[in-house]
Amino acid sequence: MRVPFSWIKEYVAWHGTVEELAEVLTMSGTEVEGIDWVGAPAGPENLGRFVVGKVLTKEQHPNADKLSVCTVEVGETNGGVRQIVCGASNFAAGDTVAVSLSGAVLENGLKLKKANLRGVESDGMMMSEQELGYEEKSPGIAVLPDEWIIGAPLQDYLPVSEAVLELELTSNRPDCFSIYGIARAVAAAARLELAPPPIAAPAAFGGAPAAETIAVEIADPDLCPRYVATVIRGVTIGESPAWLKARLTHAGMRPINNVVDVTNYVMLGWGQPLHAFDAAKISGGKLIARRAAAGEKIVTLDGVERTLDEQMLVIADVERALVIAGVFGSVDAEIDEHTTDIVLEAANFAGPSILRTELHTGIRSEASNRFEKGLDANLAPGGLDFADRLFAELCSGTVAPGMVDAGGVPPARVGLGFRPGKANALLGYEIPAAEQAGILRRLECEVAEAGEPVGARTADDTDEWTVTPATFRPDLVREVDLIEEVGRIAGYGMAPESLPRHTTAGGLTKPQKVRRAVRRALAACGLDEAITYSFIAPDAVTPLGLPEGDVRLDPVKLSNPMSVEQSVLRTMLLPGLLKAVRDNLDRLNDPPNLFEIGKVYLWDEPVPAPAHAAEPGAVLPREPEVVSIVLSGPLEAENWTGGGRPTDFSTLKGCVEALLASVGLQGEYGPLGDQAEHFPYLHPGKTALVGVKGVGGTGVLGQLRPDVAAAYGLDDVAVYVASVNGRFAEAAMRTTAFEDLGTYPPASQDLAVIVARDASAAAVVEQARRAGGKLVRSVRVFDVYEGDQVPADKRSLALRVVMRAPDRTLNEKDIAGVRAKVLKALEREFEAELR
């Protein structure tokens, strides 16, 4: 909400700066988002250069058809009479006008200087409505009321310069949605005097009582507890005076005409939305607040025909709905330039119903924004008095005696139990009981204290007070709400900083520790962590060619996505990561190597919702966490010491090995075998499944098929991908037992054996290790050769066998024995030949 500084100062005795006011508001719970300075730069010197003037003479400019040369009286203290050349034609000698004197800095930042216009000197400027800060209705300069004193500062009548506080209001405080409400909040927070409510009734009434023109019936009091109306006869529709237009403009509303402007002014100032009907258009002289019929139609003021339902309230006459109550008027009963008699509504509607209507119709107005929060039913009569007085003053209307009040004054509020000791206990510091009582009374609560008057005594928990909040504070319904008021107004700045006394032991769960270890390990491999959106396009997995019925083809769908591209939840991390790779390549970055740790969302084993938390049968998807890796280039960029080793399967496998090793695990790798159908997007010969002893299969790693890569925009890029599910975590982080280092030296033997090309290296190593017996400490492949030196269907594996005995130095015989056993076993199992 926008609060013009000059307006709020009419209601509260504020003598500080606007910045200080902003601070008071912010620190008492009404956040000021900013201060908008409108109009000419403030400062007494500059504002003194904007004065009320009177046109004495107006002559045709000798050298320009469209200009006139005027003499303007601007008052003795401002130098008497000035000669001003003017381009407007909508005024005459004798008119009162707004003059900016030479030297004034205007709202656009320009400094006005004496000028020579086609040979005639011009000293000052007569201002247009736009230059005065509100919307221009008529071309030319602003012609002002004659009673304004010539030579007086313009600022006395119009905000030439205005500071507007931009407030962010919270939905629990409907009382703050008006200037007077904000003034009341300031008065309470800063202990200042609040002006009486600006709702004085008109000075005079006339004509037949209102009830003779209009009757009101509330058919659905649950949606409309109160409906008050008055009648104003003989209004003249026209333009609003300058001050009103300026006020509305600064507060963020467009001036329309005097009747609409008055209703808006009262809504902004007092907080009660009003609706003006043309009395002549109300059929049967009766307004009915009733639920709409299902399918009932209404053409709203924007010309759109809208279909209503039975949960929406309308204000109707005997024939048809005239207004979607509190939300939007129709074309049928609005005032227009021919309107003379007005029926003015000040109603109270149920907030949730208004909110629902807003959501269903998509309409939100200044009025409905207030009603939806639940207004005080006691606001209504004051709103009518306030408006009626202005109608009489500004629209030449005659206000009919008597208000029609359907629903009447709401029942008085019941008091709440309040313990000052409880407030101190919850806040954690001492606010004396007397001060607490004072704060609550400043907030217009009635406070009945227990026992003795409070005085200097500190009340304790046993003293329960009865506190009755004002009706404009619907948010105060429990003791804790009052405690917040006490703390808020006393100021949280006085709260000490302490820590809770009791505590539990903190820490991470095992899966959380595993996640951190994995993240660290993959980063240590040189991979960068990506975080991609959980939602993807429904067709994002299509290029993967997953088999029909695959759970990854049945995503969690959003019923209201923001775009098709983000309309389902991911079942795999891969599509998001491939897009990230593509985006990086498009930006000409180095080919990225990325990993992501995140959830996927699957319907394969739905999680039943607890009975108390959902309708029967409701389920949630499973959300397993997955680690995914995508490599698209060398881990080490080419550089002068080397680098640039192309990424291949072994790079990827090294990353997966490091991942598992970081939590003390070693993977078991094997070809896809009969699982191949689940991974149609991976290279059939360069893909492995990985498992962990005791847990089983935990992931897959391999090269992305080039055609699939191309489908993701990665043509000619060798992409290696891995996906590891969280199952390995079950076996992770077991305590490792110490193994004796051994005091006797090791011996090693290198064996190059020629085996079938498709014999797995892991199997050969495992066989060698087993055959070698307990002296063998390790067997590893240190070279692989395929080529001219061996037959085409064979390859040579160079094995290094390291042996050691715990109790002696190995001799030649020991070494030869192991060598022989290993060779023999490899010959037997793999038809291996020593190379």
Partner 1 sequence: MDDAQLQELKQRAPGLAAIYHTGRETITHAADLAALEQARVQVLGRKSALTEFLRSIPGLPAEERPLVGRGGNVIRKELEELVEAREAELKRAALSDSLAHERIDVTLPGQSFPAGHEHLISRTMREVEDIFIGLGYQIAEGPEVELDYYNFTALNTPPSHPARSAHDTFWVVEQRETMPEAVVDADRGVLLRTHTSPVQVRVMEQQRPPVYILSPGKVYRRDSDATHTPMFHQAEGLVVDEGVTLADLKGTVAHFTREFFGPDRDIRVRPHFFPFTEPSIEVDVSCELCGGKGCRSCKYSGWLEIMGAGMVDPAVYSFVDYDPEKVSGFAFGMGVERMAMLKHGIPDLRLFYDNDVRFLRQF
Smallest distance, partner 1 to C-beta of residue 348, A: 17
| 428 belongs to the binding site for partner 1 (CB under 8 A) | yes
Among 59, 528, 677, 715, binds partner 1 (CB under 8 A): 528
Whole-angstrom Cα distance, residue 460 to residue 210?
A: 54
Whole-angstrom Cα distance, residue 246 to residue 665?
A: 74
Interface with partner 1 in residues 551-570 (CB under 8 A): 556-562, 566, 569
Site size toward partner 1, by CB under 8 A: 108
Whole-angstrom Cα distance, residue 40 to residue 185?
A: 29
Interface with partner 1 in residues 164-183 (CB under 8 A): 170-173
| 648 belongs to the binding site for partner 1 (CB under 8 A) | no
| 307 belongs to the binding site for partner 1 (CB under 8 A) | no
Of 123-131, 206-214, 603-611, 672-680, which segment contacts partner 1 by CB under 8 A?
603-611
Smallest distance, partner 1 to C-beta of residue 26, A: 6
Encoded tokens for 531: 């975080």
Nearer to partner 1, 360 or 413 (CB): 360
Q: Give Cα 708 distance to the centre of its chain.
A: 38
Interface with partner 1 in residues 460-489 (CB under 8 A): 478, 480-481, 483-484, 487-488
Q: Please name which of 484, 449, 446, 443 lies closest in space to residue 468, comparing C-alpha atoms.
A: 446
Among 522, 578, 759, 779, binds partner 1 (CB under 8 A): 522
Q: What pairs with residue 577 in β-bridges?
A: none
Among 204, 414, 640, 740, binds partner 1 (CB under 8 A): 640
* DSSP element (H, E) containing 39: strand 31-39
Among 79, 526, 624, 691, binds partner 1 (CB under 8 A): 526
Whole-angstrom Cα distance, residue 812 to residue 106?
A: 104
Amino acid symbol at 154: L
Of 201-209, 533-541, 722-730, 731-739, which segment contacts partner 1 by CB under 8 A?
533-541
Nearer to partner 1, 395 or 521 (CB): 521
Whole-angstrom Cα distance, residue 351 to residue 346?
A: 15
| 505 belongs to the binding site for partner 1 (CB under 8 A) | yes
831 Cβ partners below 8 Å, 6+ apart? Answer: 755, 756
| 717 belongs to the binding site for partner 1 (CB under 8 A) | no
| 520 belongs to the binding site for partner 1 (CB under 8 A) | yes
Contact 163, 3 (CB under 8 A): no
Interface with partner 1 in residues 342-401 (CB under 8 A): 351-352, 355-356, 359
| 589 belongs to the binding site for partner 1 (CB under 8 A) | yes
Q: Please name which of 676, 682, 656, 675 lies closest in space to residue 667, comparing C-alpha atoms.
A: 656
Smallest distance, partner 1 to C-beta of residue 828, A: 44
Q: Is 469 exposed, middle or buried (0-12, 13-18, 19+ CB in 10 A)?
A: buried
Of 253-261, 290-298, 584-592, 788-796, which segment contacts partner 1 by CB under 8 A?
584-592
Nearer to partner 1, 171 or 811 (CB): 171
| 535 belongs to the binding site for partner 1 (CB under 8 A) | yes
Nearer to partner 1, 211 or 537 (CB): 537
Q: Angle at the Cα of 300 (from 298 to 304), degrees rounded to 5?
A: 90
Whole-angstrom Cα distance, residue 585 to residue 593?
A: 11
Smallest distance, partner 1 to C-beta of residue 599, A: 6
Q: Give Cα 11 distance to the centre of its chain.
A: 33
CA dist 300 to 312, 348, 748, Å?
Answer: 14, 21, 93
Backbone phi and psi for residue 475, each to the nearest 5 degrees, phi listed first: -80, -10
Nearer to partner 1, 69 or 527 (CB): 527
| 529 belongs to the binding site for partner 1 (CB under 8 A) | yes
Nearer to partner 1, 352 or 806 (CB): 352
Pair type for strands 328-329 and 143-144:
unpaired
Interface with partner 1 in residues 617-636 (CB under 8 A): 617-621, 623, 635-636
| 503 belongs to the binding site for partner 1 (CB under 8 A) | yes
Smallest distance, partner 1 to C-beta of residue 109, A: 19
